[in-house]
Copies of this chain bind each other. A is one copy, B any other.
Amino acid sequence: MRPSGRAADEMRAITIETGFTKHAEGSCLISFGETRVLCTASVEEKVPPFLRGKGSGWVTGEYSMLPRATHTRGSREAAKGKQSGRTQEIQRLIGRSLRAVTDLQKLGERQIVLDCDVLQADGGTRTASISGAWVALRLAVDKLMASGAIKDDPLTAKIAAISCGIYQGNPVLDLDYDEDSSADADANFVLIEGGQIAEVQATAEGATYDEEGLLRLLRLARIGCNNIFAAQERATR
């Protein structure tokens, strides 16, 4: 029995509110239950130094939690003067995931920065971030195409992410904070619409799992991502 009363393969409610902020070229507030992340896409007409003059664009991600997004207040990374290893790990994952569905040549020599700021956390902030970042990216690219700056759509597919885990011996989908803090294993899957896998990060600190366990989690992840793909479709149609 899950603390939330959900079935093992039941996701929390997903909502995506587009246009949440007015300055960004694309933006949405995505919720996985009580987890809420503000995702914005900013188009910059420049690329990182290693890409200058190569005709290719870049997509990158940044991530942060507001100090009181969590049960107890965390100190502000800007005040501490550095980003934690966890933050950097998640930022790298967001950027890598979105690049997996972007044709950087078609994007042209410009950069899109995806900022994912967690307003409220209840487990699954990195997966909500990736899923919402795709919506912000889609909206920003639509704007670039509408203005004629880009001709061919550089986005090759939808991408979404979801966490699964083994909670009290059972594989479950979309862990919330209560489950996450006592799960035996925790896996994040980034899947591409159509069935391909972009990324698997499966960790067992308290316990371990075998091949069959990994596959069960992957199958749950497919269920979850299909839900997210549908929500992304509704939000950007």
Contact A197 B215 (CB under 8 A): no
- CB interface residues, A 112-135, toward B, < 8 Å: 113, 115, 117, 119-121
Contact B204 A208 (CB under 8 A): no
Number of interface residues of A (CB under 8 A): 67
In whole Å, how far is A217's beta carbon from the nearest beta carbon of chain B? Answer: 10
Closest residue of chain B to A201 (Cβ to Cβ) is B201
Contact A196 B209 (CB under 8 A): yes
Closest residue of chain B to A78 (Cβ to Cβ) is B77
Query: Within the assembled complex, what's the spacing in Å between the Cα atoms of A44 and B71?
Result: 12
Given contacts A100-B208, A211-B197, contact A76 B62 (CB under 8 A): yes
Contact A211 B218 (CB under 8 A): yes
Which of A81-89, A142-150, A223-231 binds B? A81-89
Please list the residues of chain A having a beta carbon within 8 angstroms of any beta carbon in chain B: 20-24, 27, 34, 38, 40, 42, 44, 62, 64, 66-73, 76-89, 91-92, 96, 99-100, 113, 115, 117, 119-121, 187, 192, 195-205, 208-211, 213-215, 218
